[in-house]
Amino acid sequence: MKVLSGILKESKEYYRNIHKELNNRIKLLPKGSIKKRNIYGKVYYYLQFRKGEKVIHKYLGKEKPSKIEKSLKERRLMIEQLKQVKQALKILERSERKRNVGTSKKSA
């Protein structure tokens, strides 16, 4: 049984490290979405995001900002991965609690 608890501990540590790494990488990437505005027949691109309760529109230029678009996609993928990591951590903690409850009953 010590082997199983060791594996659970290693798995939790692994997922915690991934959680921390994903959070740090997400913080570095821009958040929000790219909005295209048509003003007097000309197209302008803006990065739209929330800062507190305010909606901020940051001017990006007249040409489609593919680099920022790529970063936003990457951020969304990382957020999905983060959700999966959180779910895995929740499952590991639940199984560890069940295991601890089961061992305390056996020793009593």
At 5 the pLDDT is 72
How does pLDDT run across 10-38, given as a tens digit for each residue? 888 899 999 999 999 999 999 999 999 99
How does pLDDT run across 86-103, given as a tens digit for each residue? 999 998 888 877 776 666
Domain boundaries of the chain, sorted by first residue: 2-107
**Which carries the bigger pLDDT value, residue 52 or residue 9?**
52
Res 75 pLDDT > 90: yes
Task: Answer yes or no: pTM beyond 0.95.
Answer: no
Buried b (16+ CB within 10 A) or exposed e, 18-53: bbeebeeebeebbbbebeeeeeeeeebbbbeeeeee
